[in-house]
């Protein structure tokens, strides 16, 4: 039996993170969107970038895609800017790019406004917003940008609001450096500012590039970009048994985007029993019960690694069912009740449950039982119909052609290999047949004449279904009453 997504008791889980993205240079990043909207200047060491133009939305984006990561960095607005608008970052970034052109937008956006403001009748609130941007818009056109980027509410399919946190005390301050942290997986977005959680959102999210974002805000500096992988693998809270195949899955099968993950260059599973695998999905049958520490090491295309560990409990199979291989039963007496014994649960051949199952014909009947851990064992019972052979011969009959009791009609059940003979008092054979459906009509088999009234002696030989031989004898009186 294969139990997918692993049936195991979860005892502990932890990940060992590495700051492997700490040395990434921002000099490899590029500006996306209209060129005139931004002026991104990277410092000599590649550790920070400053955007100096007060213009339309502009992004400074990494060359690599990120997913299942924790990204950290810093940002601040210098006091000399004299403006009070948006800074933030984009992630899951697909476009705009050189292929899509400057107007197609597909990314998640976290933006932070310093003060409440109304421009051209469109309101921008002080505080934070998290949105999915999916639109085709002229990013160089201020009037076109206002409904999508200035107003932080839902705008049809163009901007889907994933979270909003606004208040007159939530704006950023000039010359204050803020630490930001983004946890971004296929199923989770968590954003923190100075270690305070601003958003924690569940869903199914697409991977993509990461970048810094400005809108109508000059003199913003972003620095100290780093990331770490935060992979884990799925272990449902059930039990695995010896002989079952455990499937450890680090890629969610409930999110479409996760099935397209190409960010990981190395998968290394250690199943804790001396066996390992480099497949994306760890598939392994355990041969002995016990606790096993399962370790997954992943490495992305940049050489960043993460190690995550789970402890799993493998249970033994139940002992064999103590059921008879073959049962004999005569269904003349009704059905046969099969008893599987005392277990936690049952599944019979006909999908019924319960300790007992009544059958009404011979055949092979399968039963699967489950112990308290859900581990199962199966057995098959062969039911063979067997009934004792029976022969009942009357002791009188009247072959006088009155259509009542005119033949010696015997009654039989489950007889095979029949031979029936009748003799007169002198030992002369007067009747013989091997056809169980033929009955004596009172005539002598030798001359086809009616025998005289009187007593005659019969002998029967027959077999049952098992070919066991039986002999039976008796007498019968012929009485014509004429």
d(CA 320, CA 392): 45
pLDDT given at position 8: 31
Query: Where is the domain boundary, 385, 413, 436?
Result: 385
Query: Where is the domain boundary, 190, 208, 229?
Result: 229
Residue 179 covered by a domain: yes
* Residues β-bridged to residue 97: 101
CATH number at residue 299: 2.60.40.10
CATH number at residue 462: 2.60.40.1220
If asked whether residues 55 and 134 sit together in one domain, one would say yes
Identify the domain containing residue 349 by its residue range: 326-385
Query: Where is the domain boundary, 201, 229, 257?
Result: 229
* Through-space distance between the first and last CA atoms of the chain, rounded to whole angstroms: 78
Cα dihedral sign, 452-453-459-462:
positive
pLDDT by residue, tens only, the chain of 482 residues: 333 233 333 333 333 333 366 667 899 999 998 889 999 999 999 999 999 999 999 999 999 899 999 999 999 999 877 799 999 999 999 998 866 667 789 999 999 999 999 998 899 999 999 999 998 888 999 988 888 999 877 766 688 999 999 999 999 999 999 999 999 998 999 999 999 999 999 999 999 999 999 999 999 999 999 999 888 777 655 678 888 888 888 776 678 777 777 778 899 999 999 999 999 888 899 999 999 999 999 998 878 888 989 888 999 988 878 788 899 999 998 999 999 999 999 999 999 999 999 999 999 999 999 999 888 999 999 999 999 999 999 999 999 988 899 999 999 999 999 999 999 999 999 999 999 999 999 999 999 999 999 999 999 999 999 999 999 999 999 998 76
Residue 367 covered by a domain: yes
If asked whether residues 148 and 66 sit together in one domain, one would say yes
If asked whether residues 41 and 143 sit together in one domain, one would say yes
Q: How many residues does the chain have?
A: 482
Q: What is the DSSP letter of 446?
A: T
pLDDT given at position 344: 93
- Helix (H) or strand (E) holding 472, with range, is strand 469-478
Instruction: Give pTM, 2 decimals.
Output: 0.67
If asked whether residues 96 and 121 sit together in one domain, one would say yes
If asked whether residues 461 and 341 sit together in one domain, one would say no
If asked whether residues 309 and 335 sit together in one domain, one would say no
Residue 320 covered by a domain: no
Q: Which residues contact 211 (CB under 8 A, 6 or more apart)?
A: 29, 32, 59, 60, 61, 62, 89, 90, 91, 93
Among residues 380, 373, 369, 315, which one has the least CA distance to residue 343?
Answer: 369
Residue 50 covered by a domain: yes
pLDDT given at position 23: 63
If asked whether residues 193 and 302 sit together in one domain, one would say no
Residue 171 covered by a domain: yes
Residue 141 covered by a domain: yes
If asked whether residues 464 and 427 sit together in one domain, one would say yes
pLDDT given at position 57: 95
Residue 321 covered by a domain: no
| SS3 category, 354 | coil
If asked whether residues 436 and 473 sit together in one domain, one would say yes
Which residue in the block uniquely carries the two structure tokens 């003349």? 332
If asked whether residues 204 and 260 sit together in one domain, one would say no
If asked whether residues 364 and 332 sit together in one domain, one would say yes
* Residues β-bridged to residue 58: 214
Total number of domains in the chain: 4
If asked whether residues 184 and 61 sit together in one domain, one would say yes
Residue 80 covered by a domain: yes
d(CA 100, CA 154): 24
């Amino acid at each position: 039996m294969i139990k997918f997504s692993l049936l195991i008791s979860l005892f502990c889980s932890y990940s060992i993170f590495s700051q492997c993205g700490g040395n990434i240079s921002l000099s490899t990043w590029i500006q996306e969107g209209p060129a005139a909207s931004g002026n991104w200047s990277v410092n000599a060491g590649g550790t920070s970038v400053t955007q100096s133009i007060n213009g339309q939305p502009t992004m400074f984006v990494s060359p690599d895609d990120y997913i299942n990561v924790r990204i950290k960095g810093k940002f601040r607005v210098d006091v000399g800017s004299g403006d009070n608008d948006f800074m933030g970052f984009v992630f899951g970034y697909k476009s705009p790019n050189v292929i899509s052109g400057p107007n197609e937008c597909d990314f998640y956006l976290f933006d932070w406004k310093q003060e409440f403001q109304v421009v051209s009748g469109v309101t921008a609130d002080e505080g934070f917003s998290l949105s999915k941007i999916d639109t085709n818009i002229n990013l160089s056109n201020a009037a076109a940008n206002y409904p999508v980027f200035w107003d932080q509410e839902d705008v049809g399919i163009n901007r889907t609001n994933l979270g909003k946190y606004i208040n007159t005390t939530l704006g950023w301050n000039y010359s204050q450096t803020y630490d930001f942290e983004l946890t971004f997986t296929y199923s989770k977005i968590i954003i923190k500012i100075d270690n305070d959680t601003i958003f924690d959102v569940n869903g199914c999210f697409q991977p993509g590039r990461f970048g810094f974002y400005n809108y109508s805000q000059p003199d913003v500096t972003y620095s100290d970009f780093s990331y770490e992988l935060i992979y884990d693998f799925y272990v449902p809270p059930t039990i695995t048994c010896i002989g079952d195949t455990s499937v450890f899955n680090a890629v969610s099968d409930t999110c479409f985007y996760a099935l397209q993950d190409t960010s990981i260059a190395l998968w290394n599973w250690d199943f804790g029993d001396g066996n390992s695998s480099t497949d994306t999905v760890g598939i392994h049958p355990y041969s002995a019960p016990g606790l096993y520490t399962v370790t997954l090491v992943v490495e992305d295309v940049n050489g960043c690694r993460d190690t995550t560990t789970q402890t799993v409990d493998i249970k033994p199979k139940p002992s064999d069912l103590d059921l008879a291989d073959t049962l004999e039963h005569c269904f003349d007496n009704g059905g046969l009740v099969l008893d599987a014994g005392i277990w936690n649960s049952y599944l019979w051949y006909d999908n019924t449950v319960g300790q007992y199952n009544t059958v009404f014909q011979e055949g092979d009947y399968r039963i699967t039982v489950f112990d308290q851990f859900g581990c199962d064992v199966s057995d098959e019972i062969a039911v063979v119909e067997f009934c004792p052979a029976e022969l009942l011969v009357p002791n009188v009959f009247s072959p006088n052609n009155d259509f009542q009791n005119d033949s010696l009609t015997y009654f039989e059940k489950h007889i095979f290999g029949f031979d029936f003979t009748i003799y007169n008092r002198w030992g002369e054979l007067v009747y013989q047949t091997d056809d169980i459906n033929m009955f004596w009509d009172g005539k002598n088999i030798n001359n086809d004449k009616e025998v005289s009234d009187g007593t005659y002696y019969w002998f029967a030989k027959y077999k049952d279904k098992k070919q066991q031989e039986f002999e039976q004898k008796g007498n019968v009186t012929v009485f014509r009453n004429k």
